[in-house]
Structure 1
């Protein structure tokens, strides 16, 4: 049975009352939480616990929020909401320039912060869905591009529209066997092409992958169709 793990929010705030309120509201919304009262502790938690999102105050002891944000960005792409005091426009602009995903101004409504955190995480999930990978093959739906990775090289695939549709359809379930009729419907649904047309497109895709040093894809399954990756 698969268990859904709720996202982990790290609250970096040196004022205990504010931190406890934020923790309460995030946990009420289903988040798990971890707290830190200074930037150094926040970075330690980041390395050990890998939070999904960080609420980061600008004014912190030991290492301020701007410096902490800089190091967070150097260590990965964890989204950050900065908290600034009212009227500190310079801090807000600097936070956004440094790569914060959003900011809120104190005194703030904790419900608003939780809602913003949820929105940022949803945007991240949607962005992730634009990318699909299987083995050395990568599809980027947003840019309508396909790539292969061979060791340290990442090379673009020059595909026709039908080839792109076919590859995109198969890369999302790379070990599943697709029938010719299913692939035909998914990639040429509005045409009068026959099922054997799929064989021709598969052959072209194999050749294009092979030209880039990628072999062993589009395994034929006798009497059924094709799978992208072999078992």
Structure 2
């Protein structure tokens, strides 16, 4: 089952932000809002939204600077909002890394349609037809090669760590008990203690953290087990 996409709206005009939020939520998206550009890059690093709607003119830090910085660590789709129609050709030519541009004033329905179109396009690219590849956010698992890429970096995993991560990635936000993770991670019927699973998860978390600093994807759920989110 597909998870609900989270859209981050970075727009300093409250009325415009509210309109976008209302229309996006009507289409079933989760929506987060920032009204200032200063903490936007850090927010994207930590929360990893599925899509960013980014105004060019923002207080404290402009949208172009944000876009360039985000492109240094993320391929998240970005739709930029500009108040000048003559800027669009120039911005596209300069290659700031945005996926699309919309000029103000705009139709909220058009923005939603653009978001949906870009998401479809990027999801096709990010989800190869090859059934041997499983992807979640910045994690890419190649089952045939037993290879893990995180943020385009090769991460060396043990067989058990790979199977643990695969089980979690296949069902994001689902909480797995230690017993279910044990059965997913070992080919035989050996008896493994919960402490062993905890140790593997600790190692796995540390390896992911090296490729995704300041971002925590693996979460322990007290008294139950683990999930990825």
Hey, what does 1:93 align to over in structure 2?
90
State which drifts further: 123-132 or 51-60.
123-132
Higher Cα radius of gyration: 1
Other structure's SS at 1:75 match: coil
Q: Establish whether residue 109 from structure 1 lines up as the match of residue 107 from structure 2.
A: yes
Q: Provide the rounded CA distance (Å) in 2 between the counterparts of 1:150 and 1:44.
A: 23
Q: State the superposition RMSD in angstroms.
A: 2.4
Q: Which residue of 1 aligns with 2:25?
A: 27
Report how far residue 128 of structure 1 moved: 2.3
Matching residue of 1:134: 143
Q: Distance in 2 between matches of 1:71 and 1:5?
A: 27
Counterpart residue number, 2:117: 119
Residues 10, 55 of structure 1: 8 Å contact kept: yes
Assess, with a 3 A threshold, how the Cα gap between structure 1 residues 71 and 129 changes in structure 2: closer, same or farther: same
Post-superposition offset of 1:59:
0.3
Secondary structure in 2 aligned to 1:34? Answer: strand
CA shift for structure 1 position 66: 0.4
- Aligned counterparts of 1:110 and 1:9: Cα–Cα separation in 2: 14
SS at match of 2:39: helix
Report the number of matched residues: 139
| Partners of 1:75 and 1:123 in 2: CA distance | 20
Contact 1:10 1:54 in 2 (8 A): yes
Q: Indicate how the Cα distance of structure 1 residues 49 and 150 shifts in structure 2: closer, same or farther if over 3 A, else same.
A: closer
The alpha-carbon deviation at position 135 of structure 1 amounts to 4.5
The residue correspondences of 1:1-231 to structure 2 (distance < 5 A) are 4-89=2-87, 92-94=89-91, 97-130=95-128, 132=133, 133-136=142-145
Q: CA deviation at 1:126?
A: 1.1
Give me the whole-angstrom Cα distance separating, in 1, the residues matched to 2:17 and 2:8: 10
Structure 2 runs not aligned, ≥5 long = 134-141, 148-153, 157-229
Matches of 1:8 and 1:150, distance apart in 2: 26
Q: Distance in 1 between matches of 2:8 and 2:40?
A: 8
Residues 107, 136 of structure 1: CA spacing in aligned structure 2 closer, same or farther, 3 A cutoff? Answer: same
- For the residue of structure 2 that corresponds to 1:82, the secondary structure is strand
- Displacement, 1:44? 2.5
Contact 1:82 1:95 in 2 (8 A): no
Distance 2:47 2:34 in 1: 12
- State the distance in 2 between where 1:88 and 1:51 align: 29
TM-score (norm 1): 0.55
SS of equivalent to 1:24: helix
The runs of at least 4 aligned residues of structure 1 exceeding 6 Å deviation read none
Q: Is the 8 A contact 1:136 1:150 kept in 2?
A: no
